[in-house]
Amino acid sequence: MENMNKKEYQKYSEKKVPKPTYLKNIIFAFLVGGAICTIGQFLRTWMMKNGLDEKAIASGTSIILVFLGALLTGLGVYDEIGKIGGAGAAVPITGFSNAVVSPAMEFKTEGFIFGVASKMFTIAGPVLVYGVGSSVIVGILHLLFTKGR
């Protein structure tokens, strides 16, 4: 290996890098994300049968899913779900809950202010900033292009 040039080393390293299993990852992401959404739909249906209005159902479903995501993160279960489901576990609202709770738990030894509070949004913060920013831009564009309609 010491006598390899750059091209030989490139070929050698390409052979050693594990090949990603795209199809497997896609299937597991679909199944895990679908399972989370199915739980959300079950909650919506259950609340609808109990006579709640649409606003209460939407809020209640979100609150319960965020709580479940935080609880499962605290118990160490959501990390295992994320290892299996990848993006299927990261994209739903439970993934956002996991992104807030995980750093807070990791830095709790540094105290509530400099640990939990300051580190809580290290992962979710950029998502919030760009999500809010892009929604403002889309709102302004919508207002400009649909003003007379």
pLDDT of res. 1:
53
| In contact, 74 and 105? CB cutoff 8 Å | yes
Domain ranges of the chain: 20-123
What's the predicted TM-score (pTM) here?
Answer: 0.71
From the centroid of its chain, how far is CA 6? 39
pLDDT of res. 148:
58
Alpha carbons 103 and 98: distance in angstroms, whole number: 9
Q: Write out the chain's pLDDT in tens, 149 residues.
A: 567 788 888 888 888 888 888 999 999 999 999 999 999 999 999 999 999 999 999 999 999 999 999 999 999 999 999 999 999 998 889 998 898 888 888 887 888 787 777 777 787 788 788 888 999 999 999 999 987 56
pLDDT of res. 11:
85
Biggest alpha carbon distance in the chain? 75
